[in-house]
Structures are given as structure tokens and as C-alpha cells.
Structure 1
Amino acid sequence: MKKIYLSMSLIISALLTMSANANTLSGVIKDADGNPMHGVLVRVTDAQSIVSEAVYTNAAGEYNLVTILEGALSIRTRLPYFKDEMASVTLTDDASVDLVMEPMTDLMEISNSLPAAYHFGSLPFEEGDDADFNRYQFQRDCLSCHQLGNNYSRHPGNSEYWLATIIRMHRMYGNFDEDLREKRVELLVDGFTDEPLMLRPQFPIDEALGTAKIYEYAITPAYVPHDSIIHPETGIIYTVDQVFDHMVVTDPETGESKYIQQKDSLAMKYHLGSPIVSDDDLGEFDPSLAKGPHSMAFGLDGKYYVTNTNDTSIGVFNPNTDQWEPSFRVPEGSGARYPHTLRTAANGDVWITFAGSEHVGRLDPTTGEFTIIDLPGGRVGNGILSEATQPYGVDINPIDDAMWYGRLFADKVGRIDPETLEITEYDSVIRGPRRMRFDKEGTLWITGYSEGQLAKVDVSDGFDVTVYDMPGFAEDIRPAPYALGVHPDTQDVWINENMTDRTYRFIPSEERFIVYPMPLEGTYTRDMVFSADGKVCASNNPLPPAALEGGVLEIFCIDPEYDPSEGVDGLATN
């Protein structure tokens, strides 16, 4: 039975520390037997602005959300193995809403509520490191841009669907092996069935959830809002959309965004509401025709540098004018293709990986000159899907300015001396080294995408690796960590995990993980970035957008030190 109590009483002591327009929504969440429920995600949404805020209940089942959202709001509670509870409130003052949650009993309902990792991890993979279709090969091959195993993507027993899908996916890697794709189709058809999954992962609830708050800002129109960066002075969030070729400029104080198109882009023609497009044209846009802005770095000149993957150029966006400036085009004769990830060195140089060729590069933005570097060994990938190695993650060591990179399909990590351009490569202890970041002491952190691992690398005298297995919460289930960021103040490592609908945080001094359940099923996030007041933010952009619960892509931010007694503090406020 659901109980709702609304109270309009003022809490004077709390109001003294809050913004004038802030209200507090609080309450208690219990189960049907009257027991308080710990770790429940309580999400409040303003349907008009499509802005949401969420907190978790403490051990007493209590939640306390201080918010500037007001008016008609919807409330949703969520906890594994319990049915969502919904309520409405008109918030013009402080209010209290208590809810009772009922357990799920239907086996298919429970199965469908499990994140993608558990359906994918239950596929009948082959055994052995040399098997073509073992789990780690399959995970690296097929989860690079989207989840596999969520409610959108399972398609039980549909061999025709899977054959068409695998043909399309394999072509992206230049693979036309009929036997390979037919075998992969067989595995997916055998694994994704109409039977409910009986696996029951056990998700621990960390006390740290009690001091966390999540902010969500909808992005629309959007298709692949990829990497985001928070401006260090204004707190404005900048996000590039890889298909729509625009920069999304989001004000976290209001949740409002504006969309600034790259010049000469074909994508704008296909925006809903564009005066130059008919209804018949919508949905016909070929994403390969887009410039493909993907990764961003903040330059010493205060501008954003952007990898245009399809255009083979480095875009330039000026946040002072909110205008795109002329791009730097990668020399055609260099052979470098698909500029992927980039980072800025202390001297202002921009280092780039090229995922479509065996190259990395360096751009001097003051002259526009590129230095393109051939990586050793050429196409030495060890995967069955592609012989290419896919140079991927990159970062700059703050101690000696050396550039480090990973080769996702070769299980290699390399170092380039910025003065001599000498290359030193190491065998990666973790499979699928994807993205990487240095902490302020010069320790390198790398995500191991293929097997759900985090690597800590001491590079002061070689390549000394410590590996941490990320918790999967069930036997033989492995997370899929995409990227990571190192918090500039705490030096905690925040990890984008893309198959469990959760964000991971690793505390190096304690060698332990904290896991934050996210508000939306189908969550697939990109680079982690940090605000001046300590929040951690990322874009949420699974492919296609319909794979995300609700179908509206977003930026989210987590405040890990949320204190309701301090009131409302926007991202732009230090």
C-alpha cells in the first residue's frame, strides 16, 4: 500500500543556509512490512524543463532533497528487485512524501530489470584464451559503442535481425568473414531467449550513497553527445555531438542548452524543425557524412580542440564567442585516419590518437603544424574481428610531459618522449586498455575494457602494474569500464562503467570501490570531468538513443559530498 504525506511547514534553521528559492523535499521509504529501505534512488523530475535531481535513502530509509525545482514534479523510487513507485507533488515550499515499495515477484519482470551485463554475461561463450568467441574477445568486439543485452537489444530468437546487425557491425571493422559472423549470430540466438534470466546479482549499498546527489540535464536534439568538458571559470558544460556536428552549451544553473553547429555541416539539415528539411527527410541522414566531433581538450589559449573523426580534422571552438573557428586539417598524405582522443600538454601542444590507422599525432595550434608518428609493428592487433590495433586512449604525464597511449586491440601501452619522439611500448597486463588518465603524482590509471579491470601503473622507472578487478556482483560477470577521470582534489578515480547502469569510484588509499546506481536503464557514459566545486559529470549517450530509458540523452553530474544543510550550490558557483 502506498502512503503519501504532504507537509508545507517551514524549517527556519535550514532556510537560513539555502538559496531564497530552494525547497526541501524529504520523506521515508519503507517496504510493505514497514521496514526502512536503504539505498533507494529517489528521483524528482520537472517534465517541463526535463531536469531531474536524485538522492539515495540512508539506513533509516530517509531522503532529503534540497532543490530549486518547483511546481508540478514527478517522483520515482528505484531499488533492485522492487517495483518502481511513482508519485506527484506540487513543490512551492518544503514538502514530505513517504512511499512504500513492493517487491517484484514475476520472474520475467525481475529478469527484465537486470542491467545488460547480466544478460550479456550469461551468453554461451567459448572457453579458453585462444577461443574466437570467449567473453573478453566478445566484450571488446561488440560493446565498444553501445550496450548489448539490455531490453532494447536482446531480440530473442531473431536470427534475421542478428545477421543483419552483425553484418553491419563487422563492416565497420572491415571484416567480411561469413563464417565468423554466422558463428556469432548462432551464439546470440542461442543465448538471448524468451526464458527469464535466473541470475540474481547482489548489489551492496555503500554508506557513501547517503551523501550523494545526482543532477540530470536533458539534451535534445541529440544523437551521440560524446565527450563533455566543464569550463574552469564559468562552470558551463560543453559537449560535442558526433552525429549532429554541434557543440551543446549547457548552463547547469538552469538546465538550458543551446546548440552551435559546425560550419559547412550537413547534419543541421536533419534537425527536427529545420526550415530546410521536410518530414520525409528526417531519419535518412547518413552519420558517416557528419564531421563527427568526438573528443575534446581545453587549450592553453582558452579554446576547445575537438577530434572530427569523419572529417579527419581538429575542430576549434571558442567559448568566449560561442563560435566555431577554422579547423586544422590533418595532412592527407600522412595516412592518419579517424582522429579519436586528444589531450593538451603543458606547452600547449595537442596530442592525438588515430583509431583508424596506426598513428598518433601532435598539433601545434599556434602554427597549425602536425607531427604524425607511425606506431611500431603496424597492424598487429590480436583480435579476431580486426587486425588493426586501434590507438585509443591518451594522456600526458604531468611529471615529464611524456605522452602515453593505448592500443585497444593489441593490448599495448606506449610512451612517446616529447623531445626525441622516441617510442617505448609495453605489453598491457590488462586486456583492452581503453582510456587512461594520470593523477597529479604521475601515476597512470587505465581501464581494462575486455575484462572489467582497473590498472594502476607506476611509470617512474618502467611499467610496474597493479590490477584491481572491478566488482561484477555475480559470478563470472565482468563490468565494461570505458573511461575514467582522476578527481583533482581527492585523487579518487571515477570510472565510466557501461553495462551495469552504474558509475564506479575507486579510492586509492583504501583500495576499494564505491558504486553509484544511476537513474536510467541503458546508461552508457563517456569521459569523466569535474566541476570547480567537486562534482563529477559525463554525457549519457547509448546507441541508439532509444536504448536509454525514456529515449532522451543527457548530461549527468554526481555530487559525492552532498550536504542538504548547505542548500543549493550550482556547478558554476565555487
Structure 2
Amino acid sequence: MRIIILITTALLALPSHAVQWQLVSSDGRPLVAAMVTASAPEQSVDRSDLGYPAVGLINIGAAHLSRFTDRSGHVSFDREQLRELAVTQLRFRAQDHYDLLLSVESALARSQISLQPMSAEERPAHYPSNVWLSQLHFDGDSQLKRNFQLNCGFCHQQASVFMRNERTTEQWQALFQRMNSYGARLPDIDHERIAELLQRDYRALRENPESVPAPRRWQPQLADIEMTEWEIGDGFSQMHDFLLHPNGRIYIGDNLFDRIYEVDPQSGSHTVHKLPVINGARTGGLLGNRFKVFPKIDNAMGVHSFALSPRDGHLFITPSMQQALIEFNPHNGEFTTYPMAQGYYPHTIRIDQRDRVWFTLAVSSQVAMFDRRSQTFSYYDLPPRSFKEWLTLKLLPLIFWFDPENRPQPAPDRDGNGLPMPYGIDIASDGTVWAARLYANDLARIDPDSGAVTMIDFPYQGPRRLRLDAEDNLWIVAFQDSLLVKYDPRTEQFTDYPLPVLNELPYSLNIDKQRGVVWVNGNQSDTLLALDIASEQWRVYPLPRQRFFTRDIEIEEQTGAVYTSNSHFPTWQSEGGIPTLLRLAPRAPQ
């Protein structure tokens, strides 16, 4: 409390309108598009439930506000905003320079901040993961690299400082086996070769860091935006998908702890809701406890994705580790569980204009629909690609009958046979349902009236999540091809848009239909990527933390602000070691 009082006193002495600094390099050159982050400590967080907040309590965690310098190197903060946040520290960051951390008192005593440049030899160690990953060539076997990225790049940054450390080939292979037990499907026949390539190539890069290309330069237009972060959970959490509700709250699912964080971005406060456990389910649910080596975990349900009912504002949630669908009433905090008779791994979810809930079933290769009026489920089987896949899918009830500890596990192969994995899903204005199968590289089109399913080959690799724009064009991220792809259902034509950063593995996207912008998760490059549909021009927004892995994007219709969450797994590898919800918004005129 004494610190906050001292800070408030110091801020009162400032000019009434703003606090301003100029950032320069050691030679006096203004630093354009440098990042300044004002941080405030947590004010009150209850940790009585496994180290997490108890249900229903109001908590105020640490908050961070980031802005960028303009073309003259200047940046300003509103005095009242800093006072409300109770800022204690400022971090000054510019590409190719060392960070500078200052207490608020020390920073306020200066009008100019000088940053020390790094030497050319030191810079690559601070580059984002994607540029390191771009230099893993796998002896020219591009398909082997794609398979590696598909299976080893969807939970964390692959070439981060934690990944490119020296390991023996035996250690790499043990790591692959553990990741496959978590849910990756790297083929066993490739483990030894990939281990040898990673050991050799990472060593060569560490010894010759000058071969790592520099990342994209931060651009002057960054001075027009600001980013706010709110810390939630801890280093063992995994903040997966989330939803921006019309009530102004954001609901975020902690996949590893079956909790929903309800964040109020106006006050920075959050409360926690715990998913109800059904039928005495154990940790890991139907999948078993895949994370036994983790010191802390509490997920019998596996809260995954969210959708909003247009009728009553209720949230529908897919619990990936159960045969069920969950309804959450944000008005009273009550949950309702709807058991399912079939299907495995409820995944991405959407709700149509008739208030029917559609979601993919990733393991059983189906799309499910829940009719809220009749409270019944319908299932749409997506066609298998081979007899082996047909047999595997038919045997799933028998496979899941076994206890998870003794369950037979089909060996993964390079074509993903047996697990085409329906993943992303969205609904067109005419009610047509679209889904993407990640391992099968195809799209499913479902007529909700007739139930007819049409499959369309996707001429790229790794269609993960997808969205429809205002004209019902389908936009899809091609994960290991580092592409954004548009599909026009009327002409049946695909158009691809290379991403503006090297070797990105885009996880998801969302579309600002009002402004015609496609927002893409840059989860290997610590960025958010925005494509203006009309001009086909990209903008790149660097995020405030290194190893900032994002899986979902929500858009505020009125302002165009976007939200994402840091979902790096494990979170403790991310800079700061704590998950955050982030809001990127246009700056208000000064």
C-alpha cells in the first residue's frame, strides 16, 4: 500500500494531460516503434483453491499497458490511467537493443530514455522463434519438416530458447514419445531421424547465429495502437479459447484446470467458475491423465471452445475429455450438462441463427448438432479416406471401453490415417455448415436441412480453424504451409495469401466483418497479423511478451479492438511465466 501511495503522489505532480518520454539509441538516434510497457502489481488475488481463486470471488491481478513510440521516438501515457493502474514499473524495449526496466519514480525523473544496442552477435538470441525455425531445413525434406511442424508446433513455440538447447538424440526421442502421449501424432518411424536433425541443426545455429535472419521490423503505425494485458491463472494454466460476451465480459477457458475466468476489462477484475464434473470423472476424463509428469493439474472435463447463443446470451462449451456438451448461464453462473450417446473429443463450436449448436468431434471424425428446442443431438459422419481409417473409427467405442491406462493406441503414420481430425467449424448466412479436417487436408460442407455431406479437397496442408466473411467467403489458416487461404464457394476457387512473417504456423483466425479485416494468430512470431481484405495489405503487431502463443481471437464490433490470450504450453516458458488476456485497441486521440 505504501508503494501505491508513493506512486500516486508522484503522478499527481505531473502535468495534467500526459507523461511523455523520447526513446533514443545510445548515439542519440530516435527509436521509432519502440515498445513501452507500464506494469502494475496484483492488488488482490485469492489462491485458496489449488492455488487458484475460489469460485465467485472478485480478484484484481497484475495489469500491463503497452504503447509504441512515434516517428520522432516519443510516447505518452495518460496520467489518470497510470494512476488508476497503480503502475510501479516501466519496461522500455526496442528491437536490437537491451531492455531497460525502471521504477516509476526513476522514469518520471527523465524525459529521454536511452537504450543500449546489442552487438550483431548477441541479437539472434533475442529473435522470436519463427526465424530460428525457418533455418531448420531437414536436409531438404520439406514434407518431413511439415509433419514435424504439424505435430510439434501446436502447443508451444518450437524453436524457442527452451527448445533449441543441446539434447542427445535419446533425449529428443523421449521428448517425442511424451508429446505423443499428450496428443501429438508424430510418426514413430520418423523419431530417430528428426532427433538427429534437430540435434545437428540446432547446434549449428547456436554456433553460427549470424545465419538466423532478422525478424520483420516494427512499423511506425504501431504508435496508433495500445495493448492491455491482465494476468490470470499461473504457470501451469493453459488459457485456451475464449468469448467476448455482449455484457462486456470475456470468458476464458483454462483447459488444464476446468475453470472459466470471467474478466471485466473495464475494471481489470476477474472471477472464476468451475465446470461441474460428471459421473465422478477422473483427471483426464475419457482420455486418461496424459499429464502425469505435471506437478499440478485438475481437468476431468477439458474446457475447450465457446459459442454464444443469439437467443439468451448463454454460452455453450465443448468439454474435450467427455462425451457431453455444457451450457453456462452467465446471468446466474449455473451450468447444465448434456450427455452425448456417441462421438469423441468435442472441439470447436458455433451456433446458428436457429439457436442450434454445431461442433466438431475431432477423434471420431464427426460433426454434431444439438437442437436446443428438443434437447437432442444429431451426428454427421465425415467419410473415411481408407478402409484402415473406416475400421479405426468403427472400433473407437471398443478402444474407449478399455481403461485409459491399458487402452490400445493406434500408431500414427505420416498421412494421419485413422485420425482425420475435424477441427475448425463455421456457419454461413444461409445455414450451411463448414468444417476443416486437419490431418485429411479437406473441407466438409454440410446441408443442415438434408444432412448431405460434401467433401472438398484442400490444396494446402493443415487446415486448422476457419471463418466466413461478410460475403460468405471461407477463410482458412493452412498451418504448416504458413498461409492464409480464401475459398469462394460460388466459384470453388482457392486464393492463398503468404503470411508477412517467416515460417509462421497460424493456429486460428477471426474476421472483423464490419471493417473487412482478417486477424490471424502469429503464434511462433509473437505477433498478431491483420490482412485488409480490400487492399490485400498486411499489418503486423508485435506482442508484449516473448513466447506469446495464441489460439483464438475475438473482435469488439464497436471499436475494432481485438482480444487474444497467451496459451503457451507450458505457460511457465512464456516471458513472465503467467498467462494473460490481451486487448489490442486503437489509441484514443490525445
TM-score, length-normalised on structure 1? 0.85
Match of 1:405 among 427, 435, 442: 435
Number of the residue aligned with 1:59: 71
Does residue 534 of the first structure (1) align with residue 547 of the second (2)? no
- 1:425 is matched with which residue: 455, 458, 462? 455
Structure 1 partner of 2:163: 153
Task: Provide the C-alpha distance between the structure 2 equivalents of 1:192 and 1:318, rounded to a whole number of angstroms.
Answer: 49
Counterpart of 1:394 in structure 2: which amino acid? I
Say if 2:21 and 2:112, in contact at 8 Å, map to a contact too.
Answer: yes
Quick check: 1:458–1:464 contact (8 Å CA) kept in 2?
A: yes
Q: How many residues align?
A: 522
Secondary structure at the counterpart of residue 80 of structure 1: coil
- The SS at the match of 2:481 is coil
After superposition, give the CA deviation of every residue in 1:71-126 in whole Å (9 maximum; x if it has no partner).
Answer: 4521112222111111111499x98642111111162x422211111222222414
- Matched with 1:569 is none
C-alpha spacing 1:197/1:127, structure 2 compared with 1 (3 Å): same
* Alpha-carbon contact 2:63-2:229 (below 8 Å) kept: yes
User: Would you say the 8 A contact 1:54–1:65 is kept in 2?
Assistant: no
Counterpart pick for 2:245 among 218, 231, 243: 231
Amino acid of the structure 1 residue aligned with 2:526: D
Question: Residues 63-82 of structure 1: matches in 2 within 5 Å?
Answer: 63-66=75-78, 68-70=81-83, 71-82=86-97
Alignment correspondent of 1:341 = 348
Is residue 588 of structure 2 the alignment partner of residue 563 of structure 1? yes
What are the equivalent positions in structure 2 for 1:143-292 lying under 5 Å apart? 143-172=153-182, 178-193=188-203, 194-198=206-210, 199-221=212-234, 223-232=237-246, 234-264=247-277, 283-285=294-296, 290-292=300-302
Residue equivalent to 2:518: 493
Contact map agreement 1:485 1:528 (CA 8 A) in 2: yes
Q: For the Cα contact (< 8 Å) 1:458–1:465, is it kept in 2?
A: yes
The alignment-based identity, stated in percent, is 26
* In structure 2, distance between residues paired with 1:377 and 1:266: 32
CA shift, 1:28, in A, is 0.7
Q: Distance in 1 between matches of 2:439 and 2:413?
A: 6
Q: CA deviation at 1:310?
A: 0.4
User: Which residue type is aligned with residue 64 of structure 1?
Assistant: S
Report the alpha carbon displacement of residue 262 of structure 1 after superposing the two structures with TM: 1.1
Instruction: Give the Cα–Cα distance (whole angstroms) in 1 for the partners of residues 380 and 346 of structure 2.
Output: 13
* 1:470 alignment counterpart: 499
What is aligned with 1:85?
Answer: 100
Larger displacement relative to structure 2 (426-435 or 178-187): 178-187
Q: Deviations over 1:313-369 (max 9, x none)?
A: 11111110123x2211221xx3x2101100011111111111112111111123321
Measured after TM superposition, the shift of residue 41 of structure 1 is 1.1
Paired position in structure 2 for 1:481: 506
- Determine if contact 1:25/1:95 at 8 Å carries over to the other structure: no
Q: What is the CA distance between 1:50 and its match in structure 2?
A: 1.2
Structure 1 residue 403: Cα displacement: 0.4
Q: 1:317 aligns with which of 328, 347, 351?
A: 328
State the distance in 2 between where 1:367 and 1:284 align: 43
More helix by share: 2
Distance across 2 between alignment mates of 1:27 and 1:41: 12
The one-letter amino acid paired with 1:99 is I
Unmatched tracts of structure 1, length 5 or more: 1-5, 15-23, 271-280, 566-574
Q: Which letter does structure 2 place at the counterpart of 1:345? A: D
Tell me if the contact between 2:369 and 2:379 (Cα under 8 Å) persists in the aligned partners: yes
Query: Which of these residues, 105, 113, 131, is aligned with residue 119 of structure 2?
Result: 105
Which whole-Å deviations, capped at 9, do the CAs of 1:488-530 have from their partners, x for residues lacking one? 4212111111101111011111111100111101111121102
| 1:128 Cα offset (Å) | 4.8
Corresponding residue to 1:504 among 529, 534, 537:
529
Determine the structure 1 residue equivalent to 2:46. none
CA contact (8 A) 1:236 1:251 kept: yes
Work out whether residues 383 and 410 of structure 1, in 8 Å CA contact, stay in contact via their aligned partners in 2: no
Range 307-316 or range 148-157, more displaced: 148-157
**Contact 2:468/2:475 (8 A) holds in 1:** yes
Residue 390 of structure 1 corresponds to 421
Runs of 5+ unmatched residues, structure 2: 1-9, 43-60, 284-291, 390-411
Alpha carbons 2:124, 2:214 under 8 Å: kept: no
Contact 2:147/2:186 (8 A) holds in 1: no
Quote how far apart the aligned CAs of 1:284 are.
Answer: 4.1
Q: Structure 2 length as normaliser, TM-score? A: 0.83
